[in-house]
Structure 1
Amino acid sequence: MAVDALLSARELELLRFQAGRLGGLRARGSSPLSGPQTAWQRGAGLELEDLRPYQLGDDVRHIAWRASARSGRPISKVFRAERRQRILVLVEQHPGMAFATRGELKAAVAARACALIGFAALRQGAEIGGMVAGRETEFFQPGTHLDRALALIGAANRAPGHDYPAVDAAEALAQLHQLARRQDSLYLISDFQHWDDALLASLKQLTERHLVCALQIVDAGEQTLTAVGRLHIRSPFDGRELVIDTDDAELRRQYAAAMNEHQQQLEQLFKRSGMHHQQLFTDRDPLPTLARAL
């Protein structure tokens, strides 16, 4: 395990075991992301597509006997192969994710969520792939083998660095759109602190073709300022330093109002774009929430 890994090999093995508890992946009809495509099947099955007159060489097991009786001539069932479900995950590991006031780092929660989704997909025979956007963006073509999932999870499990810009969300969404094919299920994992209404068109482009869920990593202690005197703060993005007086009640009020306004705008953005939205907190086990979201 790399020295900058957010989660240990032992923790990842436990997550692989826990992924079996994500029963929602096996019953997508009751999932918030239920869609028209049959999903989470072991292998490619057959789905009835049409009925047509019997042709020489047709499998007699596929004769539609009731339709044949009604029409007075042999009718064959035409099947098409079910497409294996694909799951794509976009994980944003920007410098701001290396933060938490309680529990574990936002980045670690994001890695946990990615691992649980990846392992659950494999258990159900789905393809898993996606992107990890940090200092650079890494792409992982979907596959059903463990090494494909581990490559994605390993990239998400690397601790984000410092002193580089936030992820260009618009570019990341455009790249995800190119990687995905129609009716893939997409999971976006981030704190979404830098997302705004300018992304609405990009998100709608995704939801028109895909089932999309935003998994927002939240540190509850970040939502308000506690009165602890003067704080020296350093931006993880550009290294700029700032001193704030947390004993200033007006400053605390303005900060809380700004954080609340951003959260409300974010929730409206997800709603208007047609996405499902769940919050994963840094001081709580993400498994129960993911079981509902998936």
Structure 2
Amino acid sequence: MIPARLKQLVRGRAQPDSMEAVVHAPLIAASDLAGLAAQASLLATLPVREVHDHHAGDWASRWLGRGLDFEESRLYSPGDDIRDMDWRTTARTGRPHLKIYREERQPTVHLVIDRGATMRFGTRRRLKVAQAARVAAVLAFAAAGRNGIIGATLWDAQDQDLPPRHGRLAALALIEQAAAPCPPLTDPASTESLHHADRLAALEASLPRGAQLVLISDFGWLTDAHASQLARLAARFEVWAIQVVDAAERALPDMGLVRFHDMASGQGVWLDTAQASVRGAVRSAFADHLAAQAVCLGRAGVRHQWVGSEADDLVALLVNG
């Protein structure tokens, strides 16, 4: 539920002309990119390199299969390739064993940036969607610095897929799209079709096995019905859910009698925020909501943490969250 007085809350005392300029400005200023790149250099969220040269196949995969690095021996099963027989262990134990190798791969990082209606809200420093773009920028720079393959999907009124590419230029192109102006939707209920089940299914079908999938959203769409799909994603990929939360959602400020507007459904309700009991009830309800979502994601095997939309130091939050 979002306050109807969004302009006053988000933009302060901005005049109409300056308001229009701010609404249609990029979510990340060019002057901020250097700072985000510096944060990325400190971020250690991706797998650790085990060799020194940057080239294809120099990252250890979590998946076992054909490769060069011996991982373990296991008992032979009918149908296994006899070319992988571990004859030394077989001779020692008297039982047929097979050698298992760890696959080599270049890391593939796929970022999902939610630009939906509920993300186009913020009361401290920036919109939630702007913070999502900043998180994506840090992760994209970090992946590029580790010679990763970077791709993205922008969840918007019209979803946009950015094909996986290498290098810093690929990271900059991704960041440019993630930081594109994101003005409020004129009719959120009609322009945003919340087919997140289809979106999750598309990710499962299109991403290479073993990719790192990062979902950056407020997860206002998440229900128990999505748990099975998330579990399937977590079985194939390393899934990380970064939940962007605004300060006013965590603790409603005293604004008197205010009409709140649900930007996803279009429904509205009046609340007297001057009453401490009302603010306390909303705070408790939102805390319970976050806890229920954390349980849902945890049961699905998804790493989860939340980030405040007002936070500047993303490294501390992403590493220690």
Question: Which TM-score bucket, shorter chain as reference?
Answer: 0.7 to 0.9
Partners of 2:194 and 2:289 lie apart in 1 by 18
> Deviation per CA, 1:70-117, whole angstroms, max 9, x where unpaired?
9xxxxxx99997221101111111121122222321111100110011
CA 1:9–1:204: 2 relative to 1, 3 Å: same
What residue is the counterpart of 1:286 in the other structure? 314
Partners of 1:251 and 1:184 lie apart in 2 by 44
> Deviation per CA, 1:178-221, whole angstroms, max 9, x where unpaired?
22111111111011122111110110010111111111111233
Long gaps (5+) in structure 2? 1-22, 59-66, 72-87, 92-98
CA contact (8 A) 1:41 1:126 kept: no
Q: TM-score scaled to structure 2, two decimals?
A: 0.71
CA 1:201–1:166: 2 relative to 1, 3 Å: same
Residue 48 of structure 1: how far off its partner (Å): 3.2
What residue is the counterpart of 1:44 in the other structure? 57
What residue is the counterpart of 1:200 in the other structure? 227
Residue 166 of structure 1: how far off its partner (Å): 6.2
Residue 124 of structure 1: how far off its partner (Å): 0.5
What residue is the counterpart of 1:261 in the other structure? 288
What residue is the counterpart of 1:111 in the other structure? 133
> Deviation per CA, 1:217-276, whole angstroms, max 9, x where unpaired?
112331233333111334434655543322345543442332122111101011100111
Following TM superposition, the consecutive aligned residue runs of length 4 or more in structure 1 with deviations greater than 6 angstroms are 77-81
Match of 1:276 among 298, 303, 318: 303
Partners of 1:216 and 1:191 lie apart in 2 by 5
Alignment of 1:116-131 (within 5 A): 116-131=138-153
SS in 1 for 2:68: strand
What residue is the counterpart of 2:171 in the other structure? 149
Partners of 2:226 and 2:254 lie apart in 1 by 35
CA 1:249–1:48: 2 relative to 1, 3 Å: closer
Letter in 2 for 1:173: L
Long gaps (5+) in structure 1? 30-37, 51-66, 71-76
Partners of 2:100 and 2:131 lie apart in 1 by 46
% identity of equivalent residues: 29
CA contact (8 A) 1:134 1:167 kept: no
Q: Does 1:211 align with 2:233?
A: no
SS in 2 for 1:23: coil
How many residue pairs get aligned? The number is: 260
Letter in 1 for 2:133: A
SS in 2 for 1:269: helix
Partners of 2:103 and 2:231 lie apart in 1 by 29
CA contact (8 A) 1:97 1:107 kept: yes
Alignment of 1:81-92 (within 5 A): 82-92=104-114
Q: Identify which range, 180-189 or 282-291, moves more after superposition.
A: 282-291
Alignment of 1:1-294 (within 5 A): 3-25=24-46, 27=48, 42-45=55-58, 47-48=68-69, 82-160=104-182, 161-162=184-185, 163-164=187-188, 165=192, 167-237=194-264, 242-284=269-311, 285-292=313-320
